[in-house]
Structure 1
Amino acid sequence: MYQDEADWSGEGVSLTAHQDASDQDVETSLRPRKLSEFIGQARVREQLELVLHGALKRGDQPDHVLFSGPPGLGKTSLSMIIATELGSSIRVTSGPALERPGDLAAMLSNLAEGDVLFIDEIHRIARPAEEMLYLAMEDYRVDIVVGKGPGATSIPLELAPFTLVGATTRSGALTGPLRDRFGFTAHMEFYSPEELELVVRRSAGILGVDLRDDGAVEIAGRSRGTPRIANRLLRRVRDFAEVRADGAVTLEVARAALEVYDVDELGLDRLDRAVLSALINSFHGGPVGISTLAVAVGEESSTVEEVCEPYLVRAGLLARTPRGRVATAAAWHHMGLTPPQHAPGSPQPDLLAE
């Protein structure tokens, strides 16, 4: 059924939920346009609907909104939806781009009444710009300082009422004064396999992919609870189906494709398995420090800590202890090995005796 398997030399597909430039255009086409089209995050959708429709009914400007949670769960999509539901325009920027107060003042002064300003990774905004943002959020005003030294003067600049939507993957990095100025905060949760199946089906319809029921279930189950990863895997499986099969994404095709791209049944990619293999084979299951573990797999410590570790911990394969990282009994089993009695999650002898 599959042709030329021997000459396929893929290096695997990255399962990080951070978006790269090649994904942006496709992801934009797959974004839901309205709250009714948004899949998952039922509690957040209900709360956001009340905030937006309540403001529209009163003729007021909605409160500022903060979305927090891991990347790839729909924070940017919801910000676009807010603008659509309000019937207004949206301006998009990111925290690292706002280094000086003048950068922020220029953007704020160009907002029309009712516009939405979306700041991604808002926890990375520079402190001087953040302090200017406080006054803009509360009083729709900024103070522009002209001149230096004793001759400097402050000129107040009135702003049109707007709604600020912030997104952050590290809510703990936000300063208290900034966090308190948001009228509505929402934490995005990872998706269930059933919700991801709906996401994959919707994306397949938009992309024109012949996706069968069992194929959708298989892709959803390996997507690490993240819609962005689910859409990425769908596109890679589509490539495999068109080149090596008849174009239909069935269970058999999905499994064969994901094997080529080094994505196993738990959603682990090459780097995830390299971390577990090094932890178990080189360090006897740990504990071991994150920097030592990163050197063992040839990656930066930040990559292992921010890309691999969150999912491995959530999947119950890795435990963080004061002495370092430890492989759990589930990790030993997943790698086809028998866990030692000291591995977290292993049955204890005294319990077995009872």
Structure 2
Amino acid sequence: MAEPSLVASQEEPEERALEAALRPKFLDEFVGQGRVRRQLSLVLEASRMRGRTADHVLLSGPPGLGKTTLAMIIAGEMNAPLRISSGPAIQHAGDLAAILSSLSEGEVLFLDEIHRMSRPAEEMLYMAMEDFRVDIVVGKGAGATAIPLDLPPFTLVGATTRAGLLPGPLRDRFGFTGHLEFYTVEELELVLRRSAGLLDLKVTSAGFTEVAGRSRGTPRIANRLLRRVRDWALVHGIEQIDARAAGAALDMYEVDARGLDRLDRGVLSALVTKFGGGPVGLSTLAIAVGEEPETVETVAEPYLVREGLMGRTPRGRIATPLAYEHLGLPVPASAPFAESATLFGPGSDEADGSLD
């Protein structure tokens, strides 16, 4: 089993309480995602002026960028209660019916990973979103009876990391769709400044830049790294965290200047030193680093591809010149990337590259 990673996008259970304390409560406090924030602010303001519940909202994007936080902000801005559930928890239409029938008027229902909801529940959700009504089926077979149940107006906020898996009819029923992008270093510095104020930390501008540069463009990771730097500074008796202290702390946690951790560097190193830069299949690469293929594909690979350190081709994974440069190795003259004109990003069908 892989060790918990400081730069993993998912939250560990013990991190959730700390993360919740750092979440902004209103749109004015939310840092970054300027385009989505402006559009969402207009949608909510118009709803308040009409005196009606807000349109259903779909938020998509990689983990850790603020989808759950925005759902909480929507409820706060509309002065409405928030109900939280997730797609994997709704495997039967009855599960969804129980949630919907207990909603109060104006309530915000947040469904995380909505693309993982079962098909029968999806079909029930269509009618609930559009007509605020569901049909409850009582009995089985020829004696089954559908009883219509009216629902109070509510706002559904759906979050997904894989918008392409949502069926068209479900996507079309959302009144507003926002795609969250990775943060710039400057935006992450603003996130860290706010968090440092809440944590009562003294950090220099260079210290914020150091932590932000290693955070993979993700606020959740930035806040997690800041807390680990805080711990390191406390143990070493450092009152003000500068770039040197932040770098030393994160080096100890094996998060390098580019945000790569032990697994990321292990994958790159194996690809370059054991397989001559590739191409190599996913299963073979995973065995070489002692991890499960799913761990390599979902944890390490997306960031390596996004940073241009790895490419995915129909023949397998390959290292790019940047990978050699990052590992401090000379770029070979006959490199696999020279033969591949096209590199495919994660998730593309052509880039499966898992054959050994």
Which TM-score tier does this pair reach, normalised by the shorter chain?
Answer: over 0.9
Matched, 1:207 2:234: no
Distance 1:307 1:12 in 2: 11
Find the partner of 2:331 among 328, 334, 339. 339
Distance 2:335 2:303 in 1: 19
Matched, 1:33 2:25: yes
2:107–2:154 contact (8 Å) kept in structure 1? yes
**In structure 1, what residue type is equivalent to 2:287?**
V
The DSSP-based 3-state class of the residue aligned with 1:295 is helix
Q: How does 1:118-129 map to 2 (within 5 A)?
A: 118-129=110-121
Distance 2:147 2:303 in 1: 49
2:264–2:304 contact (8 Å) kept in structure 1? yes
Equivalent residue, structure 1, for 2:347 = none
Distance 2:311 2:163 in 1: 22
Equivalent residue, structure 1, for 2:225 = 233
CA distance change for structure 1 residues 95 and 239 in 2, over 3 Å: closer, same or farther?
Answer: same
The DSSP-based 3-state class of the residue aligned with 2:110 is strand
Equivalent residue, structure 1, for 2:140 = 148
Matched, 1:286 2:242: no
Q: TM-score, normalised by structure 1?
A: 0.93
| Superposition misfits of 4+ residues, deviation over 6 angstroms | none
Equivalent residue, structure 1, for 2:62 = 70
Q: TM-score, normalised by structure 2?
A: 0.92
Matched, 1:96 2:85: no
Gapped regions of structure 2 (runs ≥ 5): 339-356
1:329–1:344 contact (8 Å) kept in structure 2? no
**In structure 1, what residue type is equivalent to 2:206?**
D
Matched-pair identity in %: 63
1:12–1:263 contact (8 Å) kept in structure 2? no
Measure how far apart 1:302 and its partner are: 1.3
Distance 1:200 1:55 in 2: 32
Distance 1:345 1:297 in 2: 22
Measure how far apart 1:341 and its partner are: 2.8
Equivalent residue, structure 1, for 2:123 = 131
Q: Which moved more, 1:336-345 or 1:76-85?
A: 336-345
Find the partner of 1:166 among 151, 155, 158. 158
Measure how far apart 1:13 and its partner are: 4.4
CA distance change for structure 1 residues 315 and 344 in 2, over 3 Å: closer, same or farther?
Answer: farther
Find the partner of 1:49 among 38, 41, 45. 41
Distance 2:238 2:156 in 1: 48
Equivalent residue, structure 2, for 1:351 = none
Q: How does 1:293-308 map to 2 (within 5 A)?
A: 293-308=285-300
Distance 1:101 1:12 in 2: 35
Find the partner of 1:263 among 243, 255, 258. 255
Equivalent residue, structure 2, for 1:243 = 235
Distance 2:72 2:278 in 1: 44
Q: CA RMSD in A?
A: 1.3
Find the partner of 2:97 among 91, 98, 105. 105
Distance 1:304 1:53 in 2: 43
Find the partner of 2:266 among 267, 274, 281. 274
2:254–2:262 contact (8 Å) kept in structure 1? yes
Equivalent residue, structure 2, for 1:23 = 15
2:279–2:336 contact (8 Å) kept in structure 1? no
Measure how far apart 1:345 and its partner are: 6.9
Distance 2:96 2:132 in 1: 13
CA distance change for structure 1 residues 342 and 131 in 2, over 3 Å: closer, same or farther?
Answer: farther
1:224–1:267 contact (8 Å) kept in structure 2? yes
